[in-house]
Amino acid sequence: MRILVVGGGGREHALIWQLARSPGVEKIFCAPGNGGIASLAECVPIGAADVNALLNFARKQQVDLTVVGPEAPLVDGIGDRFREANMLIFGPDSSGARIEGSKIWAKRFMEKYNIPSAAYKEFRDPRIALDYLEQANYPTVVKADGLASGKGVVVAESQTDAKRAVQEIMMDKVFGRAGDSIVIEDCLQGEELSLFAITDGDTFIMLPSAQDHKAAYEGDWGPNTGGMGAYSPAGIFTPELVKEAEDIIFMPVLNGLLQEGIRFQGVLFAGCMLTTAGLKVLEFNVRFGDPEAQVILPRLASPLLPLLLHAARGELRDLETPRWSPEAAICVVMASGGYPGNFETGKLILGLDSAETEKKAVVFHAGTAQKDNQIVTSGGRVLGVTAWDADLKTAQKRAYLLAETIKYEGAYFRRDIGHRALSR
């Protein structure tokens, strides 16, 4: 089969790394790809947002399956366009992608179909939002309604912090039109979990759990990022909680979407909080997590292609149950100095060759590019150093030893990824 993967980050590198191992894969294209993906797929200079060019390319190259990595093209309707053209695609239509594309739509949907989540208020006028904050309970959570690359959520410890968030999101427009409206919701207490299911709209298969580390700095402190690391499995996700997630989250979501006339085909990602009252949904996403994909996909012991293909064809019931390794995996994200604020790019990366010889480890590229036959930094999150082993502590040690061998100017990474699980 000929496959097109849309995107150019660590998630897409992990997808391609696993797809390249699947029998029956003849050729993989990636648009636009990155410096590391180029070793596994033909990178084509088409942006993930250029739906017309992607569709024309897929037709011309006789692509059998398109796999969409990032959320923005899905919200913008790449799924609709490809299906209208009878091109097979893994990812929901724009109607289904609204569950990530609009926090307000998602909160209303969860309320309507009794999916447990935090109490909330929605605002379109910053003055009314600021007035509300005068009598809100703290900490509270302020969320931009639209897409903000994982950075549009502020956990405000005080009224001052909350008002600053409203000012920046709604008035200063730090996230553009994504901040035209906001959600202010109760701050749930507990431990976060990343839960994933692949679905064809009727049937779903849950993937192993993971835990992300969103905060920029060690000790889970500092501004939110796209993710500074992850590990899988999350030990707190017991078999009982798996059943709870299926019964109170994933089944109601899919049934609710069908009642809304939406057949969701792709990945449904529930960011959850395990509270004293059970699982509650923080938000839904409509694609693989990044960096969660970098720890879940290496644990897949059966081919990835049939899983994606059966979901895209609406035939998930016919698929044999995927096999998963019992080993633990951990990903340490190496970032550019200054991320998630201002940072410089174009820094030469050294040590990648030696990393390729490591067993049970892989370095997924996120923000890299090729320049004069060398790999340089091109983004905030640069690399995802991933290792797996019989237990999390051993995997963590191996990942950090590997990260220490990779050098570039301004390199930064958290040194406590996996601390919650290891402290238990």
pLDDT one-digit tens code per residue, 369-380: 999 999 999 999
Task: Tell me the three state secondary structure of residue 402.
Answer: helix
According to the model, what pLDDT value does residue 357 have? 84
Structure tokens at 170: 């709604």
In this predicted structure, what is the pLDDT of residue 358? Answer: 87
Q: Are 212 and 227 in contact (CB under 8 A)?
A: yes
pLDDT tens-digit profile of 184-208?
A: 999 999 999 999 999 999 999 999 9
**E-assigned strands of 227-327?**
229-232, 266-275, 278-285
Q: Which domains does the chain have, with CATH numbers?
A: 2-91 (3.40.50.20), 119-186 (3.30.1490.20), 191-318 (3.30.470.20), 328-423 (3.90.600.10)
Kindly tell me if the per-residue pLDDT of 150 is higher than 80: no
Q: pTM (2 decimals)? A: 0.96
In tens, the pLDDT along 240-256 reads 999 999 999 999 999 99
- Residue 211 confidence (pLDDT): 96
